[in-house]
Homo-oligomer: A and B are copies of this chain.
Amino acid sequence: MTESRRERERRARRQEIISAAKEVLSRKPFNEATLEEIAERAELAKGTIYGYFKNKEDLFISLIKQEFDSWRRAVEPALDEGLAPRERLRIMTEAVLRYHLDNLDLYKIYLTHMGFIIIPKEGMLHEYQRIINDCLKKAMEIYREVIISCQKDGLFKDKDPQFLTLVYQGVIQSVIMGWMMGLIDKPIPKLVEDILELLPESS
């Protein structure tokens, strides 16, 4: 069991580093965030990080993957196909908002690195850019799946699902940004209601 303790400690330390990185990366883009600062925040020497991650990029990728998994788990309930589509949309919207508003750092990272979604593949794309891209695509697919199920149920009848998905994502983003900027502070269920009301009904 001694072995087990060491492993536990190792995992904990690894997590501390990821958390430190998360905080720093929420304020600075990848290239501006220094390992020095991350190490400092984790109260470690710079070199120590390399015992846990292959390099700066690996650390960042691990962070993104972990956070995306966590986001995905939060949204999972909305994937239950047994639920009514409209209910799935409500659950999803609430889960997404709650997740991000409880965890603003992640969203800041997303915003800070959003440029990477768009940047054309000039030269080699950094691995971490690919990862971010993947996560975004997966998130969009989830949105789209739920939206399509709503359409099958008669909502937003004649609109292009791609377009609807984009708009949905844009509205969510606006709300989160508004919250971040202190322009909005309603409780989450109220926000969800407001958002759903905005969506074009089929009727």
Check B200 against A183 for contact (C-beta < 8 Å): no
Stretch from A13-21, A75-83, A90-98, A108-116 contacting the other chain: A108-116
Complex partner residue of A117 from B111, B113, B115, B116, CB under 8 angstroms:
B111
Complex partner residue of A27 from B122, B167, B183, B197, CB under 8 angstroms:
B122
Distance to closest chain B CB from A98 (angstroms)? 18
Q: Which residues of chain B have C-beta atoms less than 8 A from A197's C-beta? A: 200
Q: Which residues of chain B have C-beta atoms less than 8 A from A123's C-beta? A: 27
Judge whether A189 is part of the interface by a CB distance below 8 angstroms: no
Count residues of chain A with CB under 8 A from any CB of chain B: 41
Distance to closest chain B CB from A181 (angstroms)? 7
Check A119 against B27 for contact (C-beta < 8 Å): yes
Check B122 against A118 for contact (C-beta < 8 Å): no
CB under 8 Å from chain B, chain A span 32-46: 32
Distance to closest chain B CB from A37 (angstroms)? 10
Complex partner residue of A170 from B114, B122, B159, B171, CB under 8 angstroms:
B171
Check A118 against B108 for contact (C-beta < 8 Å): yes
Check A112 against B108 for contact (C-beta < 8 Å): no
Stretch from A2-10, A63-71, A145-153, A172-180 contacting the other chain: A172-180
Complex partner residue of A177 from B120, B166, B177, CB under 8 angstroms:
B166
Judge whether A31 is part of the interface by a CB distance below 8 angstroms: yes
Judge whether A198 is part of the interface by a CB distance below 8 angstroms: yes
Pairs A-B, 5 closest by C-beta atoms: A112-B115, A170-B174, A170-B170, A166-B174, A166-B178
Name 6 extra pairs, CB < 8 A, besides A118-B180, A163-B183, A171-B171.
A27-B118, A31-B31, A108-B118, A112-B115, A167-B170, A171-B174
